Structure 1
Amino acid sequence: MPEPYAKPHLSYERQVGKLIERGLHVPDVAAAAELLRHIGYYRLTGYLHSFRPIDEAGPDGHDQRLNSYVEGSTFEQVVALWRFDRGLRLLLLDGLEQFEMSLRTSLAYRAGMIDPFIHHRPELLAQAFVDGSPSPYDEWLEKYEKRLRESKNEAFVKWFEHKYESRLPIWTAIEILEFGQAVRLIHGLPTDLRRQIAGDFGLARPRAFESWINSLNGVRNFCAHHARLWNRTLITIASRPREGEIPRLDHLADLDGVARVKVYAPIAFLVWCLDRTPWGADWKRELIRHLRTFPDLPQGSLANAGFPEEWESLELWAQ
């Protein structure tokens, strides 16, 4: 049965003291306290999980970690790991922005060929998207109208509404949609349109492509909220490509159950997608350069993020 929470508030200095009591080497207490002031105790200690020794005699029969740190663990090591993860998030946000712009453009281009106002014509959308009361489309449209009201002072919206007695066409509306709304609209398109959009990214199966979009959207949210990526178990897991469907991603089938739910798989898919763009090679080069800077730690490696042992030797990562 859960117990009441009774832990007291701790000053930054006492938070450092708690780390020291658990076996972390902290050579400069004042400097460590100042870092905690700007990073936060719980954010930083999330990176310390793998520094805790495993108690193989856990009461529930599963391996559990002790509330102490393995001998030789230092404050500098955990800060280096945090800095590495922060750099990874920034690089992924850059790559995800490029992917998102390509996806938005594909959605507007393909859907606009059917009807410039397809997002206002439920009869042109997938039946499952418009069925029900309220339907998924009703909920989508409500959020879209809210975004439109919030964007009324955008220059392009004001200009359009001044010049035309019309709703925004899809290629204009796409600019005010949140990424999640754009993804939801893709799910609501007819299968032929979804297949065309997936084809723009080299996939024949729209459902598989959309599972990757959902996975990337989850990673994007973690990055945008400055959450830890290294050693994180993801919530939204994409379906693995079929053998030969994307040859450079065939190695994802070899990932074990733990690695499959880490961040490597969506990173690999993003690398593959951006390799097809004019700027993808430069971005991949920067990503590889950063991955090579992973700190030398007694506990933890890129494997904790799902990376295969010889990841750089894979065809996907060739430069």
Structure 2
Amino acid sequence: MAEKGFLDHPDLIDRLEQLGMHINDKTKAEAELRRLGYHSTSGYRYPFRKLREPLTDELIKRREFRHDEFEAGSRFEDSIALADFDTKLRAVILTGIFDLEVRLRTAIAHVIAQKNPKGHLDISCLDTNRCLELTSSQNETSKFEAWKAQYESDKKSKNNDDFIAHHTLVYKTEIPVWAALERVSFGTLIHFYLLMKVEDQNDVARKFGVRQGTKFGSWLLSIMDLRNDCAHGARVFNKSMKRNVSVPPNSYFKKYLKHIDKTLTADKVYMPCVLLAHMLRCHESGTNWHNTFKTQVKKLPQIYLKELSEPLITAERNMGFPSNWQELEIWNN
């Protein structure tokens, strides 16, 4: 198959029209492509494309589930509205994750500092067996060594921070854990949490309404994946998440998550977002993030095509939300 060649914005607009997408204002449409990009908005046009039926094994292998042509009633403006909705959704999600990140750094540092102010580099303060595990069967580096290497890399990139420079010059020793964990990425912070003793993990997890520290760790990894998607501008409204997380009834306190059962789609954006809302609401500082998130989700564009009697995109079908989600306690004051 010949590779796609370059097309200028007017030609791209003409191609979309030829494939059946209605464009009300070509000049404005070209401006939108210059603002958002043709390729980056392709995922928001994808739901408008006709499904291939039947799907052959070859088509599935090539991940060609839809035709290039659009369904009747497809409008360019609707695809842009969907893209703008997703942009704002990512911003709201990131705000919540940033809030969680600050609280998590504080909680972890407090638990470790009670053992040793330099406990982030003292294997005796952590779970020895887990620290000595290899990062993979093909790599002889232990998880503790990998953590230290990543920590040193993160710290080196921030050597000019006032606190690090001051501490290094005055005390000439390693910075304490409460400062050290401020200098690592969210992912590195979570991997450090996974090296902690189970009882210390439990101590941290309970501050966020979670009984089981190991389960809390798996939920954090799910939120980390979502954070990476949001930070890099990936589409999230209908994305399949990298990890499926389980939420057994005995893994959490309070009743915010009691609606989660096996009927919910575990690999959609709802799952990490409801876990995030639970963590923030259960923390002693409280939050209003759940209301902000709910408000944004309710702004999902209502898009109708000529052949459909219901919206093309819904929070329930495409984002994994339960049918009665707006009435649930987790999303209300």
Do the two structures share a fold, i.e. TM-score over 0.5? yes
Matched, 1:314 2:328: yes
Question: Is 1:253 matched with 2:255?
Answer: no
Larger proportion of helix: 1
Return the alpha-carbon distance in structure 2 between the equivalents of residues 276 and 121 of structure 1. 31
Preserved CA contact (<8 Å) 2:132 2:142: yes
Contact 1:214 1:238 in 2 (8 A): no
Amino acid at match of 1:140: W
- Aligned-pair distance for 1:128? 2.3
Partner of 1:35: 32
Deviation at 1:235, TM superposition (A): 0.7
Asked whether the 8 Å contact 2:290–2:332 carries over to 1, the reply is no
Render the CA deviation track for 1:83-140: whole Å, top value 9, x for unaligned.
Answer: 1111111111111010011111111001111111112212332222134542111111
Aligned partners of 2:111 and 2:200 also within 8 Å: yes
How far apart are residue 243 of structure 1 and its match?
Answer: 5.8
Please list the CA deviations of residues 171-208 of structure 1 after superposition, one character each: whole Å capped at 9, or x if unmatched: 11011111111111111111111111111112111111
Structure 2 SS opposite 1:66: strand
TM-score, normalising length: structure 1: 0.92
2: distance between equivalents of 1:25 and 1:243? 51
- Report the equivalent of 2:50: 53
Matches within 5 A, 1:196-211: 196-211=203-218
Unaligned runs of 5+ in 2: 135-139, 305-311
Secondary structure of the structure 2 residue equivalent to 1:143: helix
Distance in 1, Cα, partners of 2:126 & 2:184: 18
Give the TM-score, by structure 2 length: 0.89
Shift of residue 54, structure 1, vs aligned partner? 2.1
User: What CA deviation, in whole Å up to 9, does each residue of 1:122-171 have, x standing for no partner?
Assistant: 23322221345421111111111122221111011111112213111101
- Hey, what's the Cα distance between the residues in 2 that align with 1:262 and 1:213? 15
| Cα deviation digits, residues 249-277 of structure 1 (max 9, x gap) | 12221434xx2211001111111112234
Secondary structure of the structure 1 residue equivalent to 2:291: helix
Is there any run of 5+ residues in structure 1 with no aligned partner, and where?
A: none
Amino acid at match of 1:302: A
Please give the alpha-carbon distance, in whole angstroms, between the structure 1 residues aligned to 2:68 and 2:8: 20
Matches within 5 A, 1:123-162: 123-126=124-127, 127-132=129-134, 133-162=140-169
**Mapping of residues 225-264 of structure 1, within 5 Å:** 225-242=232-249, 245-246=252-253, 247-256=255-264, 259-264=265-270
Specify the alignment match of 2:178 in structure 1. Answer: 171
Q: Distance in 2 between matches of 1:202 and 1:310?
A: 23
**8 Å contact kept, 1:249–1:316:** yes
Cross-structure match for 2:100: 99
Q: 184, 194, 200: which one pairs with 2:191?
A: 184
Distance change >3 Å, CA 240–CA 228, structure 1 → 2: same
Counterpart Cα distance in 2 of 1:110 and 1:255: 37
SS at match of 1:53: strand
Q: Distance in 1 between matches of 2:248 and 2:68?
A: 40
Number of residue pairs matched by the alignment:
314
**Shift >4 Å, 4+ stretches:** 277-281
Asked if the contact 1:55–1:66 (Cα under 8 Å) also holds between the matched residues in 2, the reply is yes
| 1:49-128 correspondence runs (5 A) | 49-60=46-57, 64-126=65-127, 127-128=129-130
Show CA shifts across 1:31-75 (max 9, x none): 111211121112111012221222331223979322221111111
